[in-house]
Amino acid sequence: MLSRTADHLYWMARYTERAENMSRLLDVSHRMSLQLPGAEMGYWGAALGITGLEPVYTAKYGPITGANVLRFMAVDLDNPSSILSTLRSSRENCHAVRGTVTSEVWETINTTWLEGRDSAAEKMKGGGEAELVEYLEWVKFRSHLSRGVTVGTMLQDEAFHFARLGTFLERADNTARLLDVKFDELAPQVSPGNEYYEWGALLRSVSAFEIYRKVYRDVITPRRVAELMILRDDMPRSLHGCLKEVHQILGLVANSRSSETRRLAGAAYSQLQYGRIDDILEVGLHRYLTDFLDGMAVLSSRIAQDFLVPMS
C-alpha cells in the first residue's frame, strides 16, 4: 500500500481516538467540579493548562468559567486542539483515502464531522455546561461507531492494520497523559473521605469504574487505580493493553527495515507485561509516565520513518 495512504489511515484513527480521549478528559473535569463546589475553577484551569493555550482562551473568553472552557476545548474551531478541530482532521485524512476505506467507514467519519460541526455552531452561540457535556457524550458515541465500523466492515489488510496502529498508539499516549495530569493534581489535595469521589470520577471517565469494582472488590485507592490503568493486560485502555496491540500489529506489517522499531515496541511491551506497581511507584509515577511518553514519541517517529510519510 502507498506510504501516504497508510499515513492518512493512521492519522485518521489517531485523531478519532484523540477526540474521544479529549472528551473523557473534559468529562472528568466536569464530574469533579460538580462534586467539589468551590474548587471547580481549579479543575477547569488545570484542564486548560494541559493544552498550553491559556493565552488564546483568555484573549477570546476572558475569565475562566466551566462553560467557556468546555466551549473552547470542545467546539471552538479557533482552538486547533479542540475536539471539533480534531474531528475535522480525522475527516480530512479519511477524505484523502476514501477509496481505501469502506464506504461505511467514510460515511461514518464524514457524518461525524458534518453533524459535529452543525451542533458545535449552535453551542458556540451560548448555553451552559450541561448542553456542552451532552456534546462530549455524543463524541464518545461517534468514536465507538467509527471504531466499530472499521472493525466490522474493513478487510483485515494493511489499511486496517495501520488504522488500528494509530488507534492504540494514540490511546496509550492519552491514557498516560490523563494519569499523569490527574495524579499530579489529585494526590496532594484529595482529602480523606473524598477519595472515593475523586478517583471514582477518574475511573468513570475512562469507563473503568465497574471494571475496578469487578477486579478489586475493594475500596478505591490510587495505587490500584494506577495498576489498573498501567499494568492490567485485559483492560482495553491500559498501557499494557495498548502496547500488546501495537507490538502485534508491528509484526503484521513488518517490512525489511522495521525490525528495530518492532524491537522497541517489544521492549516497552515486556516492561508492562512483567512490571510491578510497587517498582513503578518507587521510581515515581510522574517520572515513569514521562519516560513512557518519551518512548512512545520515539516509537511514533520510527513508525513514520519505516512505513509512513516521515515527520519533517
By the rule CB under 8 A, 177 interacts with other proteins: no
Residue of the chain from 162, 183, 199, 292 that contacts other proteins (CB under 8 A): 162
Q: For residue 82, is it left (φ>0), alpha (ψ between -120 and 50) or beta?
A: beta
- Of 107 and 131, nearer to other proteins (C-beta) is 107
- Compute, in degrees rounded to 10, the torsion defined by CA atoms 61, 205, 112, 107: 160
Least distance between other proteins and beta carbon 81 (Å) = 22
By the rule CB under 8 A, 250 interacts with other proteins: no
By the rule CB under 8 A, 6 interacts with other proteins: yes
How far apart are alpha carbons 302 and 121 in whole angstroms?
38
How far apart are alpha carbons 265 and 81 in whole angstroms?
27
Residue of the chain from 26, 67, 211, 253 that contacts other proteins (CB under 8 A): 253
Q: Which cell numbers hold the place of 296?
A: 512512545
> Total residues at the site for other proteins (CB under 8 A)?
26
How far apart are alpha carbons 251 and 104 in whole angstroms?
27
Binding-site string for other proteins from residue 210 to residue 239, where x marks contact by CB under 8 A and - marks none: ------------------------------
By the rule CB under 8 A, 53 interacts with other proteins: no
By the rule CB under 8 A, 51 interacts with other proteins: no
182 closest CA partner among 208, 196, 201: 201
210-219 contacts: CB < 8 A, separation 24 or more? 211/235, 219/195
By the rule CB under 8 A, 15 interacts with other proteins: no
By the rule CB under 8 A, 5 interacts with other proteins: yes
Site of interaction with other proteins (CB under 8 A)? 1-6, 92, 95-100, 103, 106-107, 110-111, 114, 158, 162, 253, 255-256, 307-308
